[in-house]
Amino acid sequence: MMTPPLCRAFPCGLRKRCFPVLLTLGGTLALLGGCAGDEGVKSGGKLTPGDFTTGGNYVVVAVAPPTGDVQASTKPSQLLDVNRPGIAALPAGVDVIGPATASQGVGPTQGTPGAPVLSATALSRVGPAQFVDARVGDINGKPIFASQFFDVGTPTLEPLGTRLAASVEQIREKKMDVAQWRANASQEIALALRGLVQDELFRAEALASLTPQQRQGLFAFLQEVQENLRRESGGSREAARRRIEEEGLTAEEFLRRREELVLIQEQLRTKVSRRVNVTWRDINQAYNGRMYEKYNPPSQYLFRLIIINADDEAAKAQVETGLSDNTPFAELATLPLNGSRAANGGLQSPRAVPNDPKDAKFFPNPELDVAAHGLAPGQTSEPIKVGSQLVWIHFDSIKNEKVSVYDAQLEIFSEVSNERFNRERDKYYQRLLSHASVTSLIEMQQRLLAIAEERYLKAPPKNKS
């Protein structure tokens, strides 16, 4: 058993216990080691509070404080180096005292156990309370903080803070009420919460299933990402760091987010995408089934009108002269004399014809409807008197927006694939969720909504410069 340095200064034999001692010099405290007998010591035993109470086997070495004005003294106090070799006796002014004397204080030093007493100045606030962060739940033991939703986001989700703050401005501008804000915020939080839980479950599952070779490949990939970022920033590490910080991330967070994104994508590829298969038969069935109306909308019949007062002979003559000179009807319909949408060349709203055009009703007035049915695209009717007005009808064109299955197949393939991918992803997510330890999503949503209200809804408006 090696004798501690203080035991060498105060020889007390080899079979001794060492305890803390207090050294004061000029009002300065220092904690050293002391020795005591081994009575009652058991091998492998533990210290108890009784070993440190008044009357215990320990000593306090005290140096009397210097006389005179301590505050005015410019020479700093020096601690006694009892470990210095050669010290066999205490220097002048050093006393060995017991615990009873030490509890009364040594010189100007008074020790009192318990919590420190702060002054009124120390307890005064320096500013209003500010929200920093809050833990809202756990996913398989991993804590989830509010900042992930409002400030940082996830590899697949943008942070909500900016959008929620902008919507609060709409409340102040009387464009939205508080109830609507809460409903919108609750919906956005619910979607973000589901996405975060889903990402974390996928990431953890992917990380647990990696082989040692795949882990090495992931490490190499992250190194390549870091090097590419530095090259894109002109080869400067500082420029790369500033570029990352512009996204509100540190370099470690940036790499961790890339790692998480790679793991999530790989897990979706191996566990979800491989289950999605879309054949030509699936495309054809979708085209002729639920997507038929989308790619085969009703034909649109377009008509233009010129309407004038029946007793305005000059206007009538001007229209008839223009028609006889083969002036385009759309041009004539822009004249100020036209009382029917002259700014749009007399163009009327499209008339949808889903089936046989003979069954369509183009105009509510029977005379105009009959005249419209007698026209072919590009033809103009004779003037029709309707009450005190004269009306010319021009059949402009038939707008047909039908798309064949061959032209629509890529779009149909993408839509059907996304639908099946989302369905398989949700099934996989529910399977992982059933075996995971996750704080109630409803509870986390309620906590996040309360934090959002405190952070954005109750926050004072920003001064606009």
Mark whether 322 and 385 lie in a shared domain: yes
Residue 119 lies in a domain: no
Taking Cα atoms as reference points, which of 422, 424, 425, 432 lies closest to residue 205? 432
Mark whether 91 and 159 lie in a shared domain: no
Residue 317's identity, in one-letter code, is A
| Rounded Cα–Cα distance for residues 385 and 394 (Å) | 15
Residue 412 lies in a domain: no
- Helices 441-452 and 178-208 meet at what angle, rounded to 10? 130
Mark whether 89 and 183 lie in a shared domain: no
Q: Which of 399, 430, 450 is the last residue of a domain?
A: 399
Q: What is the pLDDT of residues 228-256, one digit of tens each?
A: 666 665 656 666 566 656 666 666 777 77
Mark whether 222 and 188 lie in a shared domain: yes
Query: Higher confidence at residue 86 or residue 293?
Result: 293
64 pLDDT exceeds 50? no
Residue 122 lies in a domain: no
Query: Higher confidence at residue 180 or residue 54?
Result: 180
pLDDT of residue 127: 56
Per-residue pLDDT band for 347 (boundaries 50, 70, 90) equals very high
Range(s) of the domain holding residue 372? 297-399
Residue 283 lies in a domain: no
User: CA Rg, the chain, in Å?
Assistant: 43
Mark whether 453 and 383 lie in a shared domain: no
pLDDT of residue 161: 86
Residue 351 lies in a domain: yes
Q: What is the pLDDT of residues 190-232, one digit of tens each?
A: 998 998 899 889 988 888 887 887 777 777 766 776 666 666 6
3-state secondary structure the chain: CCCCHHHHHCCCCCCCEEEEEEEEECCEEEEEEEEECCCCCCCCCCCCHHHHCCCCCCCEEEECCCCCCCCCCCCCCCCCCCCCCCCCCCCCCEEEECHHHHHCCECCECCCCCCCCCCHHHHCCCCCCCCCCCEEEEECCEEEECHHHHHHCECCECCCHHHHHHHHHHHHCCCCCHHHHHHHHHHHHHHHHHHHHHHHHHHHHHHHCCCHHHHHHHHHHHHHHHHHHHHHCCCCHHHHHHHHHCCCCCHHHHHHHHHHHHHHHHHHHHHCHHHCCCCHHHHHHHHHCCCHHHHCCCEEEEEEEEEEECCCHHHHHHHHHHHHCCCCHHHHCCCCCCCCCHHHCCECCCEEECCCHHHCCCCCCHHHHHHHHCCCCCCECCCEEECCEEEEEEEEEEECCCCCHHHHHHHHHHHHHHHHHHHHHHHHHHHHHHCCCECCHHHHHHHHHHHHHHHHHCCCCCCCC
Mark whether 144 and 246 lie in a shared domain: yes
How many other β-carbons are positioned within 10 Å of the β-carbon of residue 333? 25
pLDDT of residue 151: 83
Mark whether 304 and 374 lie in a shared domain: yes
State the total domains in the chain. 3
Residue 288 lies in a domain: no
Mark whether 268 and 137 lie in a shared domain: yes
Mark whether 171 and 230 lie in a shared domain: yes
Residue 418 lies in a domain: no
**CATH code of the domain containing 156:** 1.10.4030
The token pair that represents 203 in the structure block: 């990431």
- Helices 405-434 and 280-288 meet at what angle, rounded to 10? 110
Mark whether 268 and 133 lie in a shared domain: yes
Q: What is the pLDDT of residues 405-451, one digit of tens each?
A: 999 999 999 999 999 999 999 999 999 999 889 999 999 999 999 99
Asked if 64 and 95 touch (Cβ cutoff 8 Å), the reply is: yes
Residue 432 lies in a domain: no
Q: What is the pTM of this model?
A: 0.56
Mark whether 250 and 374 lie in a shared domain: no
Percent of the chain with pLDDT over 70: 64
Mark whether 202 and 320 lie in a shared domain: no
**CATH code of the domain containing 352:** 3.10.50.40
* Average pLDDT of the segment spanning 244-273: 77
